[in-house]
Amino acid sequence: MDIKPTTITENADMFNWQMAEVLNNINIGFFSKDIANNKYLSISEGCPKIYGYTLADFYENGNLWYEVILDEDKHVTEEEIRVLSKGEKSTAEYRIRHRDNSIRWLEVKTLPVFEGQALARVEGIVYDITDRKNTEIQIIKAKELSENILDSLPGIFYLFDEEGRYVNWNKNFEKITGFSGNEIASLNPFNLVITDDQLALENAIKQVLENGWGEVEARMITKTGKVCMYYFTGQKVVIEGKSCVAGMGIDISKRKAAEEKLQKNEKMLSHILDLIPQSIFWKDASCNFMGGNSVFARMVGVEDVAQVKGKNDYDFSWSTEEAKKYQKDDMALMKSKKPRIHYIETLTQNNGETTWLDTTKIPLKDQNDEVYGILVVIDDITEKKLKEDKQKKINEDLIKKNIGLKDFSYIVSHNLRSPISKILGLASLFEKENQDAGLNDELIGHIVNEVSNLDIIVKDLNSILAHQNLGGRLMETLSLDQLMLESKQSFENEIRESAAHISYNFERVKTVKTVKSYLHNILNNLICNALKFKHPDRPPAIHIESFDYNQFVCITVQDNGLGIDLVKYGNKVFGLYNNFHLGTAHGRGIGLTLAKTQAEALGGTIELESCLETGSIFKVYLPQKPAH
């Protein structure tokens, strides 16, 4: 059989045909475009696969490649054109909307071709990098999870090498010590404790490096010179063959136990999590468990935390009611995108045993501020709670008296001193000779006014001190409906003048056993504030409810008034003589102080949730079994 020889031209045509077939069957697009006439000279089958549009669509519309780019990414092409105009090749990444309406990530590499000084055409390759970008997003989420875990724990976390150089630390380290990141990098652990405690710290570090674990109590000194007693722990870890000390510091001047903070190194994450005594776990947006530490594994009764992944609250030993409550709370928190820090809740097992928990929940967000899960830190404080309850009964009177003394000291130093000084100053003017009668009368008027102010302060002080204990006052079972009728009558004029609407619902708890005058005064103060600090754009709407909460009856008073900035004034809300809305109606600033004093005298307390321009919710907790 004779084989006809092929020419060089025929071989070249065959090669070009084969290359075209190869390029048309891979998910890469090639194009050549006439810039001057805005027309494609050639375009491979890969482009329709990537974009979803036909070759005819591209040949008919030279701007189609640009029109499908997302608006927020079109600025990338401006830089691409600038680079090509300089005669340099360009690489750009941006998102497009595919013809099927899905979003795709593209990488475009373009080479300019000039004729003379003018850019004549461009040759380019288009890659679909959607899968690679999605992988990068997952990596970012994992990194954010690590950082959230580290920054969600209380106290300070640190990692330093054998020479004492800090390798890593958490945000709280900078916040508590007052040093910047650059300053910390130049410090060593001995710079942060007072001289008298440096020897003990040195011995503790040696113990860590020799035995793997160590601890010490030492007085830490901040940048501003403030000294606090801290409990420091250390664990020996080996990173890239080098021994380091990883540990935490807990402020034991205020509390004896605190959660540890973790370093931001993912390589150390699982090891550090297991050093922490608190239970830590995180869930996805559907409230399924995604991971946690060994303490959490023991809490739910499994040997390995991997056994928890994919399960939910209904799969564990707590009751169905508890599981339903946790799911509801977690979903609400993720919807709000706001964390809840150190709130106390209970966990009831199926056997009826109740555990007290100190809980912190933080929503996990991606780079687009979308919540994809929740991080939870739980401290089992049952034993501590029982001890505190016993100790509270012993120290309650002493604590209340101490609070009274502090208030008294505050008033004497800040409030009594001013009118007294004015009275003394005015009185001294009488010592001068030849005072005319008119001036003396004026001075006497000022003195009388200051004495009146002094009398008001003394009466306020007496009122607070008088309500710090029950003093044998009669406990009686009160109808909350009847109590509200009396309160509404007290504010009849104010309600009518402001067009206020007051509603209440006591179906869940209808009665409470307490001191009537105390509870009546608490409710009146809260209703008075709601009417006084109403929003100028709407009439007051006040709603009161009651419900059982653990061993307490909770009465909530919700309004739609001005609200209070708790970030700015949170620690002053129940203090004396405070006004958080300058230029609005105000009183002497004693109502909330007296309400809190009376609630605590009854064995309860008051909490506040508030948002500026939205309103406030006061929660009054009264014990089911009143204090004696």
pLDDT tens per residue, range 402-444: 655 565 555 555 555 556 666 666 666 655 545 555 666 665 6
Question: Which helix (H) or strand (E) segment is 430 a member of?
Answer: none
- Domain edges within the chain: 8-128, 137-269, 279-380, 404-466, 476-623
CA 209 from chain centre, in angstroms, equals 36
Domain 476-623 has CATH 3.30.565.10: yes
Instruction: Tell me what pLDDT residue 588 has.
Output: 62
The list of the chain residues with pLDDT below 70 reads 1-26, 146-147, 149-154, 254-271, 317, 349-352, 393-394, 396-473, 576-578, 581-589, 625-628
Strands (E) across 474-586 are located at 476-479, 501-505, 511-514, 541-549, 552-558
Question: 8-128 has which fold?
Answer: Beta-Lactamase (3.30.450)
pTM exceeding the 0.85 threshold for the entire prediction: no
What pLDDT, in 10s, does the model give residues 97-134?
999 999 999 999 999 999 888 888 999 999 999 888 88
- Residue 77 burial by CB count (10 A; 0-12/13-18/19+): exposed, middle or buried? middle
Instruction: Considering the domain delimited by 137-269, tell me its CATH architecture.
Output: 2-Layer Sandwich (3.30)
CATH classification (class only), 404-466: mainly alpha
Kindly state the percentage of the chain with pLDDT values over 90.
Answer: 34
Domain 279-380 has CATH 3.30.450.20: yes
User: Rounded CA gap, 536 and 534, in Å?
Assistant: 6
Instruction: Tell me what pLDDT residue 449 has.
Output: 58
User: Rounded CA gap, 221 and 177, in Å?
Assistant: 7
Asked whether the domain spanning 476-623 has the same topology as the one spanning 279-380, the reply is: no
Helix axes 437-466, 417-428, angle to 10 degrees: 160
